[in-house]
Amino acid sequence: MRLLSLHELDAHHGLLHAVRGFSLDVEEGETVALVGANGAGKTTLLRAIAGAHRPSGGRIAFAGEEITRLSAHRRARLGIALVPEGRRLFPELTVEENLRVAEAAGRGGAWNVEAVLEAFPLLRPLRARRAASLSGGEQQAAAIGRALMMNPRLLLLDEVSLGLSPVAVEGVYRSLASLIEAGATMVLVEQDLSRALSVASRVVCMLEGRIVLAGSAGELTREQVTDAYFGLKAVA
């Protein structure tokens, strides 16, 4: 089933045309990795899907419903959750309090505090710790857990491994793999090409706001993705 559909989407930052004529369909249960250099438009695209950035043109549909002009909180109610770059937890709240804040804004469903702690076991002994005292990897796990507390149908993850130690990245991706196996639908932005290729069912490479390469993660080579990433060979 098609869950998300973007048609000729445009987005600007003032005079900067950040996303240009972007069209993409995401099927339920699919994991799509968005890759590309800094400034390619990846974060703006995720924010436009989540309702945090108003597009200047094109259409967004979710589960067959037009949502292009819906507010972010109404999209969240429909089942779209964004884990933003930098995590953006409430620093003075505990891990559990951060999770419960999201629970109040969500749709209700299988994801609750215990389910999140089961998916991210490193958080269990930290549930009473303030978010500001956590390491980068612990904060990322808490941020993903907070999004899951909204019981989303679509999880948007921005810069999953940015700023994390290799050990922390390994732990976060281990938990993401479990979510993917359970049938979660994800669109993730990732600078680490190896990680992106290892978890995604499909890879989409962006350059200057456009898709320059797209295909099954199992069929694309690292060389193809790298060439598109740096604009050495654009493939529509």
Mean per-residue pLDDT, 61-66: 96
Residue 166: per-residue pLDDT: 86
In this model, does residue 34 exceed pLDDT 90? yes
Q: Is the pLDDT of residue 104 over 80?
A: no
Kindly calculate the radius of gyration of the chain based on its CA atoms and give it in whole angstroms.
17
- Alpha-carbon distance 152 to 105, whole Å? 11
Grade residue 167 by pLDDT with cuts at 50, 70 and 90.
confident
How far apart, in whole angstroms, are the C-alpha atoms of residue 229 and residue 10?
20
Q: Which structure tokens are listed for 25? A: 């369909």
- % of the chain beyond a pLDDT of 70: 97
* Rounded mean pLDDT, 172-201: 89
| CATH of the domain spanning 2-229 | 3.40.50.300
- At 181, list the tokens: 């196996």
Predicted confidence band of residue 106 (pLDDT cuts 50, 70, 90) = low
pLDDT at 92 over 90: yes
Q: What is the DSSP letter of 232?
A: S
Q: Quick one: which of 16, 33, 22, 4 has its CA closest to 211?
A: 22
Read off the pLDDT band of 234 (50, 70, 90).
very low
Read off the pLDDT of residues 146-164 as tens digits, 9 standing for 90 and up. 999 999 999 999 988 888 8
**pLDDT score at 91:** 93
Task: Please provide the average confidence, as pLDDT, over all residues in the chain.
Answer: 91
Give CA–CA dist 58/6, Å, rounded.
8
pLDDT computed for residue 233 by the predictor:
58
Give Cα separations from 126 to 53, 72, 84, 180, 194 (angstroms). Answer: 33, 30, 21, 24, 30
Residue 235: pLDDT band (50, 70, 90) is very low
Please name the residues in contact with 62: beta carbons below 8 A apart, sequence gap of 6 or more.
Answer: 3, 4, 5, 75, 78, 79, 80, 154
What mean pLDDT is predicted for residues 26-34?
Answer: 96
Q: How confident is the model at residue 99 (pLDDT cuts 50, 70, 90)?
A: very high
Q: What percent of the chain has pLDDT over 90?
A: 65
Instruction: Report whether 158 contacts 85 (CB < 8 A).
Output: yes
Q: Is the pLDDT of residue 236 over 80?
A: no
